[in-house]
Structure 1
Amino acid sequence: MRIDLHSHSSASDGTQPPADVVRRARARGLDVLALTDHDTVAGHPEAVEALPGGLTFVPGMELSCRRAGQSIHLLAYLFDAEEPELSAECARIREAREVRGRLMVERLAELGVPVTWEQVSELAGGGPVGRPHIARAMVAAGAIDAPELAFTPEWIGTGGRAHVSRYALDPERAVRLVRAAGGVPVLAHPKAVKRGAVVPDEWIAELAAAGLFGIEADHMDHDAAARAHVRGLAADLGLAVTGSSDDHGELTGHRLGCETTAAEVYERLVAEAAGTAPVTPPSR
């Protein structure tokens, strides 16, 4: 059983529509896929409508969190998307994304990069604007040669010349909100050095005490040492270990299924959920 619990579509900062994501997932031999767009569930209906035979869909989301100025990502699975407090916080985060996006575009213009808000919005396709959309617009404008070059101090990397911070949840509060909505929270890529500062072990212990279910260990941004460390920490804290592709379509080389989660971990996750259930395709 091949299970990928972290993927993105054009509903946030992935490059492919949700329907394409689920079709590609099945074509790559996956049995279970979670769609975890940033701070939104807008892509779920399209994904479910297009769900191919043999693929189970897990409704999910990647929540934007921050502590002490450090960005932290929390994966949430099988929660009630209409739970009022969680829904309101997601709306607040999405609104903050737009404000930040507009300010970063303005700063880039001041730095001589001919990117407009209209171009960035078009790339976002009506979904929440993220830095990857701005990076793609910078490539189209000829300012950089590849999207990853935007995430530096020179441009829109954390602390960069055109970077703007935004509202995000404290991760401990986010864990509690997900649990209150019947969902199951997992910490995403906590030791990904190439993304910036890693999540300290003591913070992870606090999140475990607050109700964290698991930690993403098998991720493309974790080297062998990081994976081993995460597994040891998970064992000490009684947390599950997951593996996922964190696929963003073209931006990450269409890598669905490159990392997977064990079937027994997935079964435990589903058993703990009380907000909603995985979706299987109807008989056709």
Structure 2
Amino acid sequence: MTIDAHTHSRRSDGTQAPAELIADAAASGIAVLGLTDHDTVSGWDESARAAREHGVGLLRGMEVSCRWEGISVHLLSYLHDPRGAELTATADAAREARLRRTRTMAERLAEDFPITWEGVRAQAGDGATIGRPHLADALVAAGVVPDRSAAFAQILSGASKYYVSLPTISPVDAIRMVREAGGVSVFAHPMAASRGRVVPREGFAQMIAAGLDGLEVDHRDNPPEARERLRAIAADNGLLTTGSSDYHGAGKPNRLGEHSTAPEQLAALVERASGSDFLPG
């Protein structure tokens, strides 16, 4: 039973519509799919209709960008109620900030590369959370780089002269907001050193004290030895553990179902949630 708890559609930085993502999941033998677009739940309704059609379980979620002491933290919020929640207002503000930041970066890039803001927007789906991946797609379309990975490694990296930092909230605050919205919070790819600095022990302790529910352990960006440390942290603190692909369609090499969440962990996650319903397949 493959449970892929973390994927993205065109509503943020994936390359497929939510319904297309669900159809691919069904064709790939995925029993349960987590849709966790960045700072938006706009794909929830479409994915729910497709999940019912294809008989795929749907774990509705959202990925929230945070920062702890200057270190990037991605927090997955599962099964929260988006209606009237502080978390929703924060996500709305984050999307607006991401849009402004992306446009500024596009203007800087346009000084050296044949891209335009209109071209960047054309890479995003309707209602998508526009961000650096769409800048990467515009650079690929212009023939500047071969793929998104190359764009992020070079031109769009945090050390690049084109980079603009994104204002974000503390994961401690985000965890509180998720809980107040009836959701379940999971720290995504927490030891992904290839992405930059990772949160130290002190940061883990603060997030756990704030009510963190789980850790995304089985993820391609967590090295094997780090996964064992994460399992130990989870066991010592009563945290859930998840596994996922972090699939983005054609945008990244990640493949659907390459890592999976254990059924008993999914059941425990659903049991903790009170904001939105899990849709079984």
TM-score (norm: length of structure 1): 0.95
How many angstroms apart in 2 are the aligned matches of 1:207 and 1:68? 12
1:23-172 → structure 2 map (5 Å cutoff): 23-51=23-51, 52-110=53-111, 112-126=112-126, 127-152=128-153, 154-172=154-172
Q: 1:14 maps to what in 2?
A: 14
Q: Does residue 262 of structure 1 match 2:262?
A: yes
SS of structure 2 residue aligned to 1:6: strand
The percent of aligned pairs where both chains have the same amino acid is 48
Deviations 1:227-257 (A, max 9, x none): 1111112122221111011000012246111
Q: One-letter code of the match for 1:208?
A: I
2:74 and 2:187 in contact (8 A); partners too: yes
Which residue pairs with 1:232 in the alignment?
Answer: 232
State how far apart, in whole Å, the 2-side matches of 1:96 and 1:141 are.
25
SS at match of 1:15: coil
Structure 2 distance, partners of 1:188, 1:72, is: 8
Count of paired positions:
279
CA contact (8 A) 2:178 2:185 kept: yes
Contact 2:219 2:259 in 1 (8 A): yes
The structure 1 segments of at least 4 consecutive aligned residues displaced by more than 2 Å after TM superposition are none
CA distance in 1, matches of 2:21, 2:170: 30
Contiguous gaps of at least 5 residues in structure 2: none
CA distance in 2, matches of 1:201, 1:138: 38
CA contact (8 A) 2:61 2:76 kept: yes
Matches within 5 A, 1:158-197: 158-197=158-197
Q: CA RMSD in A?
A: 1.3
Distance of 1:170 and 1:91 partners within structure 2: 16
Q: Output the CA distance in 1 between the equivalents of 2:175 and 2:189.
A: 16
Ranges in structure 1 where 5+ consecutive residues have no aligned partner:
none
Matched, 1:219 2:215: no
Counterparts of 2:240 and 2:186, CA distance in 1: 8
TM superposition shift of 1:83: 3.0
CA contact (8 A) 2:79 2:183 kept: yes
Give the Å deviation of 1:35.
0.2
Residues 190, 199 of structure 1: 8 Å contact kept? yes
Partners in 2 of 1:141 and 1:53 — Cα distance? Answer: 37
> Is the 1:205–1:237 Cα contact (8 Å) retained in structure 2?
no
In 2: Cα distance, 1:241 partner to 1:30 partner: 18
- Letter of the 1:3 partner, please give it: I
> What's 1:201 paired with?
201
CA distance in 2, matches of 1:188, 1:50: 25
Q: CA deviation at 1:24?
A: 0.9
Question: Which amino acid in the other structure matches residue 178 of structure 2?
Answer: V
Give me the whole-angstrom Cα distance separating, in 2, the residues matched to 1:197 and 1:231: 20
Question: Shift of residue 276 of structure 1?
Answer: 0.9
- Helix, strand or coil for the counterpart of 1:96? helix
User: Whole-Å Cα distance in 2 between the matches of residues 234 and 87 of structure 1?
Assistant: 28
SS, match of residue 66 in structure 2: strand
Deviates more, 1:246-255 or 1:184-193: 246-255
**How far, CA to CA, are the matches of 2:30 and 2:148 in structure 1?**
28
Equivalence for 2:252: 252
